[in-house]
Structure 1
Amino acid sequence: MVHVKAGQVSDTTAAGTCLDAITYLPPEMGLAVLERLDIPSLCRAAQTCSSWSEFISDTDWLWKKVCQNCQDIDPKLVEMDRAEGLPWRAAVMRNYGAAGIQRQWRLGFFSHPSSYEDIPDRCMCEMDADTWGQILQLELDR
């Protein structure tokens, strides 16, 4: 029996287990849907169930597409990570959001701006006192 609930299509088998619509799609179609998600949505999708988690986590091509489509990730840092042999998923997680901004601060990307316009739009984020202390010390040492 097929059910539609809150925009989700599922099929309940005789044993009562719920199979989602992605399970029935060919992998190419599933990837076509998932590659259009932003990183937080993709991470939430990976928490949906074990099959989605495995599919999303193990598909390096998907993370490459997501990384290439994301405006908030510095491509130079991703290239450095990929050259070190990190998979796409690890490179994305290392350089996205607060982790990426912390890394950029630590590498000196925001040091010595000549004007306000030289500071990238998204160089601030919530960080704990220890992280800010490390960044401040690095800036003082430069």
Structure 2
Amino acid sequence: MQNNSKKNNNLRVSDIELSSVDAEESQNNIFECLPLEITLRIFSWLDIQSLCRASMTCRSWNYKIRTNDSLWKPHCLAVRAVCKKEIDDDLKNGYSWRDILLRNYQKSKVKLEWLSGRYSNICSPVGLPEKIMYPMDAETWGEILEAELKRCKNDRDLIALRV
């Protein structure tokens, strides 16, 4: 009699496992049944990091996210505030919004930190965070130099006012 109850318990456990797998598959199928417009609307609310993570969820999501420029354009336009010339040049050369973002995102982050003065008080190259540095062209370095000189002038003016 005990053997019979063990078999029944084992069957119940395996039935539960099968049911949970079936439920998981049906949940995925429900999302797949949504119209593309709804799916894209949901994805449009995601930030860049979440959008990239969602694209790694499954092949279907990866394809939808990867191939729809409407998801990447708003993020790319935010990067354009820092890298206007680069974004405009890439648009003229026919790159997709996703490719433009991939080409310019890291550069825009580093450039914004330089322009905002994050590295103004660093006295030697040793003080620069090596992992986040990004190669930039002479024009970009010129913008950074102008911002630094403006900061120095403002600092001198503040010191003069205090004295």
Answer whether TM exceeds 0.5 for this pair: yes
After TM superposition, the score normalised by the length of structure 2 is 0.52
CA distance in 1, matches of 2:60, 2:107: 28
Distance in 2, Cα, partners of 1:87 & 1:81: 8
Change (3 A) 1:70 1:109: closer
- Matches of 2:82 and 2:35 in 1, distance apart? 30
Structure-2 change in CA distance of 1:67 and 1:99 (3 Å): closer
d(CA) in 1 for partners of 2:140, 2:61: 36
Q: Deviations over 1:97-141 (max 9, x none)?
A: 2576435x32432332222389xxxxxxxxxxxxxxxxxxxxxxx
CA displacement at 1:65 relative to structure 2: 3.1
| Offset from partner CA, 1:50-85 (integer Å, 9 cap, x none) | 100011111122212332355775343212101011
SS at match of 1:56: helix
Query: Structure 1: which 5+ residue stretches go unaligned?
Result: 1-10, 119-142
Q: TM-score, normalised by structure 1?
A: 0.58
Once the two structures are TM-superposed, the CA of residue 48 in structure 1 deviates from its matched residue by: 0.6
Which residue is equivalent to 1:139? none
> In structure 2, what is the equivalent of residue 82 of structure 1?
91
Aligned to 2:159: none
Query: Which residue among 41, 48, 53 is the counterpart of 2:62?
Result: 53
Residue of structure 1 in register with 2:13 after alignment = none
Q: Which residues of 2 match residues 66-105 of structure 1 at below 5 A? A: 66-69=75-78, 74-98=83-107, 101=110, 102=134, 105=136
Higher strand share: 1
Distance change in 2, residues 1:67/1:60 (3 Å): same
Structure-2 residue corresponding to 1:108: 139
Q: Distance in 2 between matches of 1:73 and 1:39?
A: 16
Aligned residues: CA RMSD:
3.3
8 Å contact 2:48–2:75 — kept in the other structure? yes
Paired AA for residue 31 in structure 1: L
Aligned residues: 107
Gaps of 5+ in 2: 1-19, 111-133, 154-163
Amino acid of the residue matched to residue 19 of structure 1? N
State the structure with more CA Rg.
2
Match of 1:22 in 2: 31
Cα distance in 2 for partners of 1:21, 1:48 equals 15
